[in-house]
Amino acid sequence: MSGLEPFGARLRRAMDERGPLCVGIDPHASLLTEWGLNDDVTGLERFSRTVVEAVADRVAVLKPQSAFFERFGSRGVAVLERTVREARAAGALVVMDAKRGDIGSTMAAYAESFLHPDAPLFSDALTVSPYLGYGSLSPAVALARESGTGLFVLALTSNPEGGEVQHAVRPDGRTVGATVLGHLALENAGEEPLGSFGAVVGATLGDLSSYDLDTGGPILAPGIGAQGATAADLPAVFGRAVRNVVPNVSRGVLRHGPDAVTLRDAADRFAEEIRTAVTPA
């Protein structure tokens, strides 16, 4: 459909060449204010363009949070379209953080919005929620395979509320989170060098040795920086899967704006710290 290599292969190469860092683009109101920008579409565009120009040519992944653009309506979505297009043109892979989840034709439409090559918001991967049942994601899985894109599925998130669902024990004795990870392992079976179907697992969760995180796909790991986790924590949290971890840093980088040079320097520091932490001695 798109002629792209599978997302997992493209991500593995980007991580090896640029380091395994994902920078979030989260233009919430307080951050716009910190940058001296108005909380309006003009401020949104200035913020997003600055981040892209500063780091899109050096980080593996950029992750715009769709909600912060959607809140401005169609003009905000237009800024998001340009942000995605310019980030990909500069060489970064774009993971759209939209956490979509539904059933049937609605899930198919969500997938087409972000994973169809003709879509204005076409991205390299999309975050999705499996909590209407993993099978509800089937339309997105199918389109991702067809278009060479990927999914990051919420599995073990860092928010305290997530545990009541993700750590719930099913009749077969497995937790819901472990069940999601098991589905991803099946999706990625036989894929080299990396599968295209990843999990979202918080870097702040501490000991996860009771979970098999090695699904053959990437792990998007929020929590580095402002949420309290550090690059040095990654091996202990993710164990043998650490080489496939894509740590997400948002405020830890973005608070250094609006100066592009300091943004770039912050991204470089995080990338090097993470590369050092996840590379075997």
Active site residues: 99
Burial 106-136 (b: 16+ CB within 10 A, else e): ebbebbbbbbbeeeebbbbbbbbbbeeebeb
Residue with tokens 């009771």: 210
Contact between 150 and 162 (Cβ < 8 Å)? no
Residue 201: strand, helix, or coil: strand
The span from the CA of 103 to the CA of 144, in Å, is 16
Contact between 213 and 219 (Cβ < 8 Å)? yes
Residue 154: strand, helix, or coil: strand
Contact between 100 and 107 (Cβ < 8 Å)? yes
User: What would you report as the CA-atom Rg of the chain, rounded to the nearest whole angstrom?
Assistant: 18
Q: Kindly tell me the sign of the dihedral angle through the C-alpha atoms of 38, 83, 260, 151.
A: positive
